[in-house]
Amino acid sequence: MSGFAMYHFIFGFFDQLFGNQQQQWQRGPSGGQHQYNVHADSISCSTYLCPDSLVCVAQPSECPCPYAEDVRCIIPDPQDGGASGTVTCVRGTEGCSVVERLASAYSH
């Protein structure tokens, strides 16, 4: 299964598991898109500015999860031997173990 197909499977699984009750990520402050853009433009970042948190990181995969209660998990890409992967944020008592089990089950 390709990394792209596995990505869609896992997120479809989470949609079903949590009853499609995922919170919508807010892009920027509630004051509107213009205020968000002005604020984002005022942040000095020469590498990558995470859109949800406005944190400056070296690359997109290093962006923190948007909510403190989320756990950042990496789904390895089996096509490159796990050298890279897709970053996702999960919530719950099991943390990344559910993601790791699903990735392992569908990487063969």
CA distance 94 to 105: 17
Task: Answer yes or no: is pLDDT of 50 > 60.
Answer: yes
Q: Looking at residue 39, what is its pLDDT?
A: 82
Instruction: Judge contact between 48 and 58, C-beta under 8 A.
Output: yes
Q: For the chain, what are the domain ranges?
A: 3-105
- 78/85: higher pLDDT: 85
Structure tokens at 79: 């096509």
Residue 46: what pLDDT?
A: 93
Give 30-40 pLDDT, tens digit per residue: 557 888 888 88
Distance, CA of 74 to CA of 86 (rounded, Å): 6
Q: Looking at per-residue confidence, does 20 or 84 come out higher? A: 84
